[in-house]
Amino acid sequence: MLATPEVAKQQAWNMRVVTPLKQVDDLKPIASCIKLRTEFSGAGTAEESMAATAAMWNCHFANCVDKMTVKCESIGDWCSSARYMCGLNNTEACRFGDIMTLADSKLRDKLLEPLHEKAI
């Protein structure tokens, strides 16, 4: 679902981007519809960011003939709660479950082992 203009206005970065963009002559999007497919979607941060960007464009660049739309084609994540949240906002997207079942046991063990980092 595309974010409403009200949601886009709440995003602070939107306002910082609009002014420089309005100074560019014949600024046109390369596409009016962005079809998004994500793996490791999490709770849908990338999807919501794309929707907010499209809403910002539609709100501030009304002189364009085509409004920008975002269609989330597919989502997937191994975390069931993240999949659930992302699915709530992307009801029409093809939803994939835990792709870890496709990995062999050696790869699965490597992906699930704890990660230790040292500060430099």
- Is 70 domain-assigned? yes
Contact between 38 and 46 (Cβ < 8 Å)? yes
Please check whether residue 87 is in contact with residue 97, taking contact to mean a CB–CB distance below 8 angstroms: no
Whole-angstrom distance, CA of residue 78 vs CA of residue 96: 9
13 versus 107: which is more confidently predicted? 107
Domain for residue 67, yes or no? yes
Banded model confidence at residue 31, pLDDT cuts 50, 70, 90: confident
Structural domain span for residue 64: 5-112
68 within a domain of the structure (yes/no): yes
Task: Read off the pTM.
Answer: 0.63
1 pLDDT higher than 60? no
pLDDT digit string, tens, across residues 33-43: 889 998 878 88
d(CA 39, CA 56): 25
